């Protein structure tokens, strides 16, 4: 049993040492954005996107993200709030970092679509992926303006894909 664990433990130690040599950083992003379904007559919904990322190497980072985009309307004098809530893991590749740092990546996770009315909520969750293209612009060593565009691919027959963008701040710790 111990012999079987030796190789995975040794590989894990090597990866941790390799990552720490790359001066790995943790960052937290907070951004405002929009999600727009490609469904006919759908409107864009506005909201927030929060992310936590870990710099694995000079050009690679991974993290998790949470978004909440909503819109309120009134139907037959009843207030209805519709929402989209993506929760995803992501990986991003930084193309170069000369002050201006463009990146490409992908989100993969769960998309919750729902509506709230008269105190009750109805929602459904679906798996989805979102290719990303974005950029980080430094304000100083720790604070960055970050922005990205995403194409939300939802491989469910009755769902339409969507488009999103986010712009906000990133703090590197």
Provide the residue-wise pLDDT of the chain in tens; the chain has 173 residues. Answer: 444 545 555 555 555 455 444 454 899 999 999 999 998 888 899 999 999 999 999 899 999 999 999 999 888 888 999 999 999 999 999 999 888 899 999 999 999 999 999 889 999 999 999 999 999 999 998 999 999 999 999 987 777 899 999 999 999 98
Note the pTM of the prediction, 2 decimals.
0.80
SS3 68: strand
Query: Residue 85 and residue 62: Cα distance in Å, rounded?
Result: 20
Fold of 24-172: Porin (2.40.160)
Bridge partners for 166 per DSSP: 33, 148
Question: Domain spans of the chain?
Answer: 24-172
């Amino acid at each position: 049993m111990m012999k079987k664990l030796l190789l995975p433990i040794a590989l894990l130690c090597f990866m941790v040492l390799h990552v720490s040599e790359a001066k790995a950083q943790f960052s937290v992003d907070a951004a405002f954005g929009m999600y727009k379904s490609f469904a006919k007559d759908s409107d864009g919904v506005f909201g927030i996107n929060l992310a936590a990322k870990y710099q694995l190497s000079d050009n690679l980072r991974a993290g998790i993200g949470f978004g909440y985009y909503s819109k309120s309307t009134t139907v037959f004098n009843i207030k209805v709030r519709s929402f989209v809530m993506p929760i995803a893991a992501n990986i991003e590749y930084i193309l170069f970092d000369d002050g201006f740092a463009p990146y490409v990546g992908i989100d993969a996770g769960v998309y919750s679509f729902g509506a709230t009315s008269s105190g009750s909520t109805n929602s459904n969750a679906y798996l989805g992926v979102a290719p990303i293209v974005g950029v980080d612009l430094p304000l100083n060593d720790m604070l960055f303006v970050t922005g990205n565009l995403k194409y939300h691919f939802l491989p469910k027959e009755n769902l339409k894909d969507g488009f999103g963008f986010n712009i906000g701040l990133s703090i590197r710790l």
